[in-house]
Structures are given as C-alpha cells and as structure tokens.
C-alpha cells in the first residue's frame, strides 16, 4: 500500500511541475481582479523598466565621448572616484530630459565618489572588468547609478 501513495506522489510531482511567477505577473493578475494597489505596483514596475532600458542603452553609448585613459589610476585600475561624478551628472541630465523629476545632490557627490572608489578598489580589490582585464565601463556606469540610489542617498 505505501508504494501506491509514493507512486501517486511521484505522478503528482511530475504533473504539477512548479513554475515561477514574476512580481509583475502576480500584480498584473491582482490588478485585473480589481486591486487598485496592485495596479499602482504594475505602473511602477513598467516605469522602472523604461528607466532601466534607458540606463542600459546610455551605459553603452556614454563612454564613446569620454577619454577613459584619463580615468585610469595605472595601466589596469580605473579611477572610479573620477568617473562617478561624470556618470551621475550624465544620468541625471538624461532622466531630466526624459521628464523624470530628479535632482543630483552635488554636496554628497564627493563623499559618494570616494566611498564607491574605496569600496571597489580598496575593499573588494577588484572592479567590473572585461576578459582582458580592462575596465568594463558600461557595467561601471550602471553600478555607479545603483550605488548612488542604493547607498549614497540612504546614508
């Protein structure tokens, strides 16, 4: 008899395979069911996606007009503290041009840049890099923006 229950259990496990559900899918279903709070969350997720797409696109194109050689401490290590204000001023200008009401806190910028540089170079002893060891500037752009909003403005 115990074999029957194990067989049924195995059958149920294979038939009812778990599937992942994103927050967006969950909130979208809740919104369709009439939850106004879920509808707000869906709107926030959608606007965040647009900002992320702009950020990713800009992280690739920003460095074409920048002399990245001048942003190096030596042959291998980037000066992340010097790149920080360039990136943040560019990102804020891009968001303002897109109609997002954001402001850059210039008074915090030197502290944030120093913290970011020290965190990556002195504490972690590495930085986002390509396979050849050169700095991965597009990733650095995105990490700087993440640091500003995720750490700098909160402390």
DSSP 30-57: HHHTT-HHHHHHHHHHHHHHHHHHHHHH
Q: Say which residue, 86 or 3, is predicted with more confidence.
A: 86
pLDDT digits 0-9 by tens, 92-149: 999 999 998 999 999 999 999 999 999 988 888 788 999 998 999 999 999 999 999 9
At residue 100, the 3 state secondary structure works out as coil
The pTM (predicted TM-score) of the whole model is: 0.78
Q: Contact 21/28 with Cβ under 8 angstroms?
A: no
DSSP letter string, 101-132: -----TTTHHHHHHHHHIIIIIIIS---B-TT
pLDDT digits 0-9 by tens, 20-57: 668 888 889 999 999 999 999 999 989 889 989 999 99
């Amino acid at each position: 008899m115990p074999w029957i229950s194990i067989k049924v259990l195995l059958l149920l496990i294979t038939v009812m395979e778990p599937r992942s559900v994103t927050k967006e899918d969950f909130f979208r279903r809740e919104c369709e069911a009439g939850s106004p709070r879920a509808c707000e969350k869906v709107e926030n997720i959608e606007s965040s996606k647009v900002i992320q797409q702009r950020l990713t696109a800009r992280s690739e194109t920003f460095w074409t007009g920048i002399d990245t050689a001048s942003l190096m401490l030596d042959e291998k290590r980037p000066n992340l503290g010097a790149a920080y204000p360039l990136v943040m001023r560019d990102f804020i200008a891009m968001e303002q041009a897109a109609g997002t009401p954001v402001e850059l806190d210039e008074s915090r910028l030197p502290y944030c840049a120093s913290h970011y540089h020290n965190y990556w170079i002195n504490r972690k002893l590495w930085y986002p890099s390509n396979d050849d060891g050169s700095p991965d500037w597009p990733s650095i752009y995105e990490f700087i923006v993440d640091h500003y909003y995720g750490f700098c403005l909160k402390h």
